Structure 1
Amino acid sequence: MPALPTLLDNKNIKEFLKSFDYVLTDCDGVLWCTDTVIGQANDALNQLRALGKKIFYITNNSTKSRNEIVAKCERLSFIANKEEIVCSSYVTALYLKQQNFKRKVYIMGASGIARELEDVGIAHYGAEPEPLVGDVYDLKNTMTLEPDVGAVVVGLDPYFSFPRVMRASSYLKDPDCIFIATNTDERFPINKNDLIMPGAGACVKCVETVVQRPPVIMGKPSETMFSLISDKHQLNPSRTLMIGDRCNTDILFGKNCGLHTLVVLSGITKMEDLESWAASTDEDKHKLLADYYLPELGDFIPLLKNEKCQ
């Protein structure tokens, strides 16, 4: 049976800190929940930076652009600049740019995707409401498709509606139309225990069910994000740490890319999940087990303080 992740403590913190130079950290569920810092995550991350660790913010969230995420970091007292932000909307734009894409994109998602596409000069439309008006069957007579759409990007869609699914699916009827998912997260972490907020994966799966073909996935656990960062900043996987709260994206991403991994239990993954995966005979579940764990990122602070005192 595989071992559970090791709790970071005073006994292993020195060896742990020596094992990496770069930190890739997820955001939602690790650093903040909506607009609230989780514990002392900002102080913990800033202290890791002060130790000389290079920080990158790696998020599947496509609703915001890099500039918007930098502004949020500053508002919540995280040190950040635009070059350190790697979000799925940005990766989507770079992917299409690298494909020498010259046509128009239909966005079934939020404005963050639109802003990143604009930054690389790619035409787009769709990041706005399109509610159902009248009977659903009237759409076959009232809906018209724009010419020269060569890609559909689906992310977390705040304007999700039947017309938007129909429009996205209709473009993808053309087998040459590129189908991109910013990410496939099942749910979005929120700080209300009685509610579940669907993630981008719910929107993606809806379109995928209609068109009967899989998308190209930009976000974790796909290796696309790490390839981008590694190429640009010459990262050594064996000297890189991935911190996340969602094991089937963040930690699996780390494992897929050969990184050290740390799971925090302040978001999606809980201790009972880790125990269940460790006890499972399914080897795919074992891949979800991180190297280390902490209840939350702020628990780094007393460990770092004790380490400095030694």
Structure 2
Amino acid sequence: MSREDHDAKTKVQNLSTLKSNDIKAFLASFDTVICDCDGVLWRLDKAIPGSPETLNKFRQLGKKVYFITNNNIKLREYYVEKARKLGFVAEENEILSTISLTAEYLKTIGFNKTAYIIGSEGLAHELERVGIKHVGIGPEELQTSYPNILDIQLDKDIGAVIVGFDPYFSFIKLVRAASYLTDPTCLFIGTNSDERFPSESSKIVIPGTGCFVQAIQACSGRKPTIIDKNHDYVRKAIMINYQMNPRKTLMIGDRCNTDILLGTQCGFQTLLVLSGVTTLDEMTKIAKSQNSKDKQLVPDFYIAKLGDLLDLIDN
């Protein structure tokens, strides 16, 4: 076994095997928690058993708690209300969402044109909060036959195509987005690259924003800027706006390629829960990978679900 393989195998530990003294040392190693939502705390509108009690226990122990989500459908107020309804303590300033960070990013770079949105009302409202005009929200049907599609009207003031989750994604929206992106000065931004949402059904796949982004990328030939958990701006915004000490911060997530990568790149300690997207087999395969980039995806710890940690803390 190579030194890198040994290090990766050593790094992936099962919290259920730790003794009480180890748990105490683990809890003492961080004072701030950043926690992903979908697949970690809840699935759709149901809390994952034990997750509210565990996160609230962190607060009782004096830890600061933040929620981070790539979900770009709802406003931060919605997530506060949802979290509280499911039994979590939550405040609006503790919600880190990619749609609010996308809006702040555009404001930071001085964007002053109109954005064409493939996305939700939540994304639209976050843009409005920072004074950015937008079009494209809601369903749009093809009003003409295919041979006459060249007659569609394009808004000359569009300076960015912003792609989030859109249940009304359609052929005509794909046409508009790719057409706007023929202008090399038009920005192409995705609010995340998640391929699918966590689902309680093994038979139903729920496509994520990444599917829409990839369709537009393939059609336009343009590479998007993804303002998600792993974008430089997002990492810097988290570190600066919330003044976190990397060595005393714990990142909890259910995806190695987003949550754990964010934690690793920020210098945080990382905990993977297996209640969402990444499976035990997938995590083990990543840990054994010879690809140096995969080493950033290996968590420091993993556990079946966040609620299992509560029993270890209380024992």
TM-score by length of 2: 0.93
Q: Find the aligned partners of 1:253 and 1:136 in 2 and give their Cα distance.
A: 43
Within the candidate set 279, 284, 291, 1:270 is matched to 279
Which ranges of structure 2 fall in alignment gaps of 5 or more residues?
A: none
The residue aligned with 2:140 is: 130
* Alpha-carbon shift at residue 117 of structure 1 (Å): 0.7
Aligned residue for 2:272, secondary structure, equals strand
The residue aligned with 1:116 is: 126
Within the candidate set 10, 13, 21, 1:6 is matched to 13
Within the candidate set 76, 81, 89, 2:86 is matched to 76
Give yes or no for contact 2:247–2:268 (8 Å, CA) kept in 1: yes
Aligned residue for 1:302, secondary structure, equals helix
* Alpha-carbon shift at residue 134 of structure 1 (Å): 4.8
Alignment of 1:51-130 (within 5 A): 51-130=61-140
Within the candidate set 270, 291, 306, 1:297 is matched to 306
Give yes or no for contact 1:223–1:256 (8 Å, CA) kept in 2: no
The residue aligned with 1:163 is: 172
* Alpha-carbon shift at residue 224 of structure 1 (Å): 2.7
The residue aligned with 2:223 is: 214
Q: Find the aligned partners of 2:146 and 2:294 in 1 and give their Cα distance.
A: 42
Q: Does 1:224 align with 2:236?
A: no
Q: Cα distance 1:223–1:6, how it changes in 2: closer, same or farther (>3 A)?
A: farther
Aligned residue for 1:205, secondary structure, equals helix
Q: Cα distance 1:18–1:223, how it changes in 2: closer, same or farther (>3 A)?
A: farther
Give yes or no for contact 1:74–1:80 (8 Å, CA) kept in 2: yes
Which ranges of structure 1 fall in alignment gaps of 5 or more residues?
A: none
Number of residue equivalences: 305
Q: Find the aligned partners of 2:233 and 2:243 in 1 and give their Cα distance.
A: 15
The residue aligned with 1:185 is: 194
Aligned residue for 1:219, secondary structure, equals coil
Q: Does 1:30 align with 2:40?
A: yes
* Alpha-carbon shift at residue 239 of structure 1 (Å): 1.2
Aligned residue for 2:297, secondary structure, equals coil
Moved more, 84-93 or 8-17: 8-17
The residue aligned with 1:239 is: 248
- Superposed CA deviations along residues 87-123 of structure 1, whole A, max 9, x for unmatched, are 1100100001111211111111111110111111111
* Alpha-carbon shift at residue 61 of structure 1 (Å): 0.8
Q: Find the aligned partners of 1:136 and 1:251 in 2 and give their Cα distance.
A: 45
Within the candidate set 144, 151, 154, 2:160 is matched to 151
Q: Find the aligned partners of 1:136 and 1:6 in 2 and give their Cα distance.
A: 56
Q: Does 1:281 align with 2:290?
A: yes
AA partner of residue 36 (structure 1):
K
Please list every run of at least 4 consecutive aligned residues from structure 1 whose deviation after the TM superposition is greater than 4 angstroms: none
Give yes or no for contact 2:251–2:263 (8 Å, CA) kept in 1: yes
Q: Find the aligned partners of 1:224 and 1:292 in 2 and give their Cα distance.
A: 26
* Alpha-carbon shift at residue 133 of structure 1 (Å): 4.1
Give yes or no for contact 1:152–1:177 (8 Å, CA) kept in 2: yes
Q: Find the aligned partners of 2:41 and 2:144 in 1 and give their Cα distance.
A: 43
Q: Find the aligned partners of 1:222 and 1:6 in 2 and give their Cα distance.
A: 28
AA partner of residue 66 (structure 1):
R
Aligned residue for 1:287, secondary structure, equals helix
The residue aligned with 2:208 is: 199
Give yes or no for contact 2:181–2:222 (8 Å, CA) kept in 1: no
TM-score by length of 1: 0.95
* Alpha-carbon shift at residue 30 of structure 1 (Å): 0.3
Moved more, 11-20 or 255-264: 11-20
* Alpha-carbon shift at residue 285 of structure 1 (Å): 2.5
- Superposed CA deviations along residues 35-89 of structure 1, whole A, max 9, x for unmatched, are 1101111111111111111111111111111111111112111111111111110
The residue aligned with 2:149 is: 139
The residue aligned with 1:258 is: 267
Give yes or no for contact 1:41–1:297 (8 Å, CA) kept in 2: yes
Give yes or no for contact 2:190–2:213 (8 Å, CA) kept in 1: yes
Q: Find the aligned partners of 1:288 and 1:137 in 2 and give their Cα distance.
A: 47
Give yes or no for contact 2:74–2:122 (8 Å, CA) kept in 1: yes
Superposition RMSD on alpha carbons, in Å?
1.4
